[in-house]
Structure 1
Amino acid sequence: MRAKYSIIFFVVVVTAISFYPGKRISAQQILPPLKEVFKKDFLIGTALNSMQIYEKDAGPVKLIPQQFNAVTAENVMKAAEIHPQWNVYQFEMADKLMDYAARYRMKVNGHTLVWHSQLPVFVQHMKDADSVMRFFVDHINTVVGRYKGRIYSWDVVNEALEEDGTLRRSIFLETLGEDYIVNAFRLAQKADPKAKLYYNDYNIEQPLKRAGVIALVKKIQAAGVRIDGIGIQGHWRYDAVPLQYIEESIRAFSSLGLETMITELDLSVLPGPWESNEADINKTARWNERMNPWPDALPDTVAQIQAKAYASLFILLLKYNQQVSRITFWGVNDGQSWLNDWPIKGRTNYPLLFDRIFLPKHAFYSVIETRRK
């Protein structure tokens, strides 16, 4: 029944666009909803910025609730935003996000409780373990406690591993020791026993870093603390999606009793300044004309390759739809993507399913088509 439904929508949309090329925006109203096409497989999520949460950006007002059934805050739940001073919490934007999600019946993933980046200024240079611990405990208890029973899941700890699978030399590791991750999950579990608890990181499909995640999970589980899943961020290049490693990771995490999510999905079409795949926001590179090959528009040939890459990824994830519980795109459209300014500021990237005026790209249709196979 679903396949028939998807095919009908697909034909209608393609026909509308073919006959009315100058009015493609009207076709948005009859797009097949991603959340419906993959309803029996996994949640389809997106990251929202402040303008979108307030619904002040006219382009995605209808598109977001039409297409997605899960949301993650791009920034407003990070510690620097929500907890700027010792005894000061700013919940206005996070509350708006919760209200937005409730209005459109979307599940919210809280992002993120413990992360070495985007920390409040008052925390960044702390050397005293007691002070860091006080912040650590108060932050988790207060933020998780506020949304207890309303939030679906939390990225409890974010990006705590180096590329070789060892623990990152963060302020938390240096002041609180190796058990800080176990303690973070213990605190979050106590603050909201019903929320799903996840570890989130980039490149953890790669064998060395994956081994670090597995060791971390086993340590948490051995301590009698709950961890429900692993978020693979999915910041990949359109011509180098590591499908084999992703599949191996899904199997490995599943063997530990864990869900897998693809949590921050985007497929960059621009050349990278480094040989390795990076997603550390603290690393940047200088401007170079060659690193911004398509400032005005994405060539159709490149868009088609990107579409095939998205399709290959979704075909794999559908194979494991009992193990993969959510796919979240890191942004609604190309113009919103963080990859326009990272790692080189001012570039024009095209990593998502919708273009800068919220029209579907080849990649959108290629993803829809995977449900027919």
Structure 2
Amino acid sequence: MAHAASHNQGVRGHTLAWYAQLPSWLKNGNFSATELNTILKSHIDTEVGRYKGKVFAWDVINETFNEDGSMRSSLWQDKLGTGYIANALRWAHTADPAAKLYINDCNVEADNAKSDALFALAQQLLAQGVPLHGIGFQSHFEVGKLPTSMKANLKRFSDLGLEVSITELDIRIPLPASSAELAQQSADYKTASENCLGVPRCAGVTLWGVSDKYSWVPGTFSGYGAALPYNESYAVKPAYTGLSNGLDPNA
């Protein structure tokens, strides 16, 4: 936080409620719904309150849908029901009324069953007066396979009055990456960033890492890598130019 403040950088908070990486005491605690509700509220109150005025946006809810649009089974969903989403957003808003509050998810960039479910949830929350301010589109892509419906899909969320942000952008390539694939990756980075900036209320584009040296991709997608604008030696790749041009409306 001190580094960001001293360099005039914004900090995005990720994430307050997720199905994964829960501590064992929580997963194995066999808490009642009432107890679990109290635990989640205390967690949000404490974390958001600690960074009040310092974090400009929070991914309050992360990856709450299955690919078919159904709700993902999780400790929160199974014990508290879908209502935990509205509660978490309300608690976060109370803890820091100035912060923008997001629902963040993967594979929702295209117009598909999952993004339809997210859109319906956003409509429902807004109709209920829940403080939802934005939707985060993770955008973990494979080279040459950006969804053609991405810009139109982001726009329909923007048309609800919500911010839209690309929150975890990377574009993986089958290894070893060829020069043609690196050129396509550059074009994809340009298109992805343009897809967001071309939509009203696009709030930003965030990469999921800087250098291929520390990318999560090789450990998760076997045989893939080279997903970021800098290579493992921190040298600029064609992707850097593509991203830079996509973020510059005058390029």
Q: SS state of the match for residue 149, structure 2?
A: helix
Contact 2:151 2:198 in 1 (8 A): no
Q: SS state of the match for residue 228, structure 2?
A: coil
Give, in angstroms, the shift of residue 134 of structure 1. Answer: 2.3
Relative contact order, CA 8 A, sep 6+: which one is greater? 1
Moved runs in structure 1, 4+ residues, more than 4 A? none
- 1:106 maps onto 2:12 in alignment: no
**CA distance in structure 1 between the partners assigned to 2:194 and 2:14 by the alignment:** 27
RMSD between superposed Cα atoms in Å: 1.6
Structure 1 residues 303 and 222, CA, compared in 2 at 3 Å: closer, same or farther? same
**CA distance in structure 2 between the partners assigned to 1:319 and 1:222 by the alignment:** 26
Q: SS state of the match for residue 354, structure 1?
A: coil
2:18 to 106, 110, 115: 115
Residue in structure 2 matched with residue 367 of structure 1 by the alignment: 243
> How do 1:157-306 and structure 2 match up within 5 A?
157-206=61-110, 207-242=112-147, 244-270=148-174, 293-294=175-176, 298-306=177-185
Partner letter of residue 240 of structure 2?
F
**TM-score (normalised: structure 1):** 0.63
Structure 1 gaps, min length 5: 1-97, 271-292
**CA distance in structure 1 between the partners assigned to 2:133 and 2:213 by the alignment:** 33
Q: Bigger shift: 174-183 or 121-130?
A: 121-130
- 1:311 maps onto 2:190 in alignment: yes
Structure 2 gaps, min length 5: none
Contact 1:182 1:219 in 2 (8 A): no
**CA distance in structure 2 between the partners assigned to 1:333 and 1:248 by the alignment:** 30
**CA distance in structure 2 between the partners assigned to 1:187 and 1:312 by the alignment:** 36
Partner letter of residue 333 of structure 1?
S
> How do 1:145-164 and structure 2 match up within 5 A?
145-164=49-68
**CA distance in structure 1 between the partners assigned to 2:194 and 2:97 by the alignment:** 34
Contact 2:165 2:196 in 1 (8 A): no
**CA distance in structure 2 between the partners assigned to 1:316 and 1:173 by the alignment:** 32
- 1:355 maps onto 2:231 in alignment: yes
**TM-score (normalised: structure 2):** 0.93
**CA distance in structure 1 between the partners assigned to 2:197 and 2:59 by the alignment:** 23
Give, in angstroms, the shift of residue 319 of structure 1. Answer: 2.3
Give, in angstroms, the shift of residue 205 of structure 1. Answer: 2.2
**CA distance in structure 1 between the partners assigned to 2:230 and 2:167 by the alignment:** 17
Contact 1:250 1:323 in 2 (8 A): no
**CA distance in structure 1 between the partners assigned to 2:45 and 2:245 by the alignment:** 43
Partner letter of residue 34 of structure 2?
D
**CA distance in structure 2 between the partners assigned to 1:106 and 1:331 by the alignment:** 16
**CA distance in structure 2 between the partners assigned to 1:192 and 1:164 by the alignment:** 33
**CA distance in structure 2 between the partners assigned to 1:317 and 1:186 by the alignment:** 27
- 1:326 maps onto 2:230 in alignment: no
Query: Aligned pairs, how many?
Result: 247
Give, in angstroms, the shift of residue 175 of structure 1. Answer: 0.7
**CA distance in structure 2 between the partners assigned to 1:173 and 1:317 by the alignment:** 30
